[in-house]
């Protein structure tokens, strides 16, 4: 017999699979994200090349998260905006429970951001001479930071999807909510780039990022029903 929670997971996965299939056929979000990410990395690397190519870890980590932040802003809202603009949101509201829609979109946005990171970070490392001193710490910060970013932006995307000035509203609403994530992610990344820094020395950043992502995702599941259905 199917329990309610196993049913919800299955339905969330169905939404996720549908979004992946749609994205592979339309490339609605991935093109926007990748184009923005690649252009920004190149623009930053050209600017840095003029200054001799030597960039301090604090500046490198800040630039990396600025690239991730703005690239994600250009694409993560699309999952909801597309549903509203193509009018498929009505059928989705009629057939899918709200928590399954949120779960599916969250998973889809996470995959999108991971794909973006897989392409952006090596490019960034090559063109900005990124030297990672502590790989486990670096990838933990990137993963937790991305997850916290996705947890926040997925809910904001649902809120702004019915508005007329979506792009501006998305940036305005997301920035204050993402500020703690960006601060901790930049600080954690800087530590991962600095030699002689152990995993334990970045515990505070990891704990804040972990707690923030849990809060945002739980809050998202609680609030999404009202956002989606009203």
Partner 1 sequence: MDLKLKLDGLAKSYPGRPVFSKINAEVPAGRKLVITGPNGSGKSTLVKVICGFIRPTKGAVTLHVNGLSLSRIDIRPHIGLVSPDLVLYDELTAFENLSFFAGVAGLQFALSKLEDKLNAIGLEGRGDDLVGSYSSGMKQRLKYCLALLREPSLLLLDEPTANLDDRGKELVDNIIKGHNGIVVIATNESAELEYGDEIVRLG
Shortest Å, Cβ 80 to partner 1: 15
Tell whether residue 198 is a contact of partner 1 (CB under 8 A).
no
Shortest Å, Cβ 184 to partner 1: 35
What's the CA gap between 205 and 53, in Å, rounded? 28
CB contact at 8 A, 149 and 217: no
DSSP symbols for 100-140: HHHHHHHHHHHHHHHHHHHHHHHHHHHHTT---S-HHHHHH
What's the CA gap between 124 and 28, in Å, rounded? 24
What mask, x for binding partner 1 by CB under 8 A, covers residues 66 to 95?
A: --------------------xxx-xxxxxx
CB contact at 8 A, 128 and 48: yes
Shortest Å, Cβ 91 to partner 1: 5
Cβ-proximal residues to 110 (8 Å cutoff; 6+ apart), any chain: 146, 147, 150
Nearer to partner 1, 171 or 223 (CB): 223
Tell whether residue 51 is a contact of partner 1 (CB under 8 A).
no
What's the CA gap between 96 and 62, in Å, rounded? 39
Shortest Å, Cβ 104 to partner 1: 8
Tell whether residue 164 is a contact of partner 1 (CB under 8 A).
no
Nearer to partner 1, 10 or 203 (CB): 10
Q: Which of 5, 25, 135, 176 binds partner 1 (CB under 8 A)?
A: 25
Tell whether residue 214 is a contact of partner 1 (CB under 8 A).
no
At which residue do the structure tokens 């703005």 appear?
70
Q: Which of 3, 51, 164, 229 binds partner 1 (CB under 8 A)?
A: 229
What's the CA gap between 145 and 66, in Å, rounded? 12
Residue 194 per-residue DSSP state: S
Tell whether residue 1 is a contact of partner 1 (CB under 8 A).
no
Virtual CA dihedral for 41, 115, 216, 194, nearest 10 degrees? -50
Shortest Å, Cβ 113 to partner 1: 22
**Contact set with partner 1 (CB under 8 A):** 2, 7, 10-11, 14-15, 17-18, 21-22, 25-26, 86-88, 90-97, 100, 229-230
């Amino acid at each position: 017999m199917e329990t309610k929670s196993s049913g919800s997971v299955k339905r969330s996965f169905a939404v996720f699979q549908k979004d992946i299939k749609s994205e592979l056929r339309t490339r609605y979000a991935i093109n926007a994200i990748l184009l923005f990410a690649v252009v920004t990395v190149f623009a930053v690397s050209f600017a840095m090349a003029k200054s001799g190519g030597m960039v301090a870890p604090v500046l490198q980590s800040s630039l990396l998260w600025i690239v991730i932040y703005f690239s994600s802003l250009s694409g993560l809202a699309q999952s909801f905006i597309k549903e509203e603009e193509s009018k498929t949101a009505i059928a989705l509201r009629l057939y899918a429970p709200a928590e399954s829609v949120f779960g599916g979109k969250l998973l889809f946005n996470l995959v999108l951001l991971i794909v973006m990171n897989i392409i952006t970070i090596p490019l960034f490392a090559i063109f900005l001479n990124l030297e990672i001193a502590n790989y486990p710490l670096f990838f933990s910060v990137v993963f937790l930071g991305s997850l916290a970013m996705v947890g926040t932006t997925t809910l904001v995307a649902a809120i702004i999807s019915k508005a007329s000035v979506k792009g501006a509203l998305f940036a305005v609403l997301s920035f204050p909510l993402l500020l703690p994530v960006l601060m901790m992610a930049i600080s954690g990344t800087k530590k991962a780039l600095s030699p002689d820094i152990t995993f334990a020395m970045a515990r505070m950043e990891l704990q804040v990022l972990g707690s923030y992502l849990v809060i945002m995702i739980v809050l998202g599941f609680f609030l999404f029903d009202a956002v989606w259905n009203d």
